[in-house]
Amino acid sequence: DAGVIQSPRHEVTEMGQEVTLRCKPISGHDYLFWYRQTMMRGLELLIYFNNNVPIDDSGMPEDRFSAKMPNASFSTLKIQPSEPRDSAVYFCASHADPGELFFGEGSRLTVL
């Protein structure tokens, strides 16, 4: 398996623009997670899905953030409108419960 695949790897955008981050989990994994990593706050869980259903989105910082998982092999994290404080690395991760958590390479977002 190719592992968790994220795109884009880097995104530079201007404040107010819409940003969409994409993730393909490992096949057969029924849990998908979106994390955000910053120097100040470390890794923060934003939202997780089980069998494509959002279970806990309490970590989503604001209504500007939304996430979807239309099928078992694809998820998106959208920020609209983006702000400079959203600049961070966004990671997608997946696992089959119980089991190892696997991360993608991350999407580095810079909002100017």
Contact residues: other proteins, CB under 8 A: 4, 31, 33, 42-43, 45, 48, 50, 55-56, 91, 93, 97-106, 108
Strand partners, 56: 48
Q: How far is CA 93 from CA 58, 80, 112, in A?
A: 17, 22, 27
| CB-nearer residue toward other proteins: 45 or 81 | 45
Q: Which is nearer to other proteins, 40 or 63 (CB)?
A: 40
Return all residues near 89 (Cβ < 8 A) that are at least 6 apart: 36, 37, 38, 106, 107, 108, 109
45/72 with CB nearer other proteins: 45
CB of 79 to other proteins, least distance (A): 20
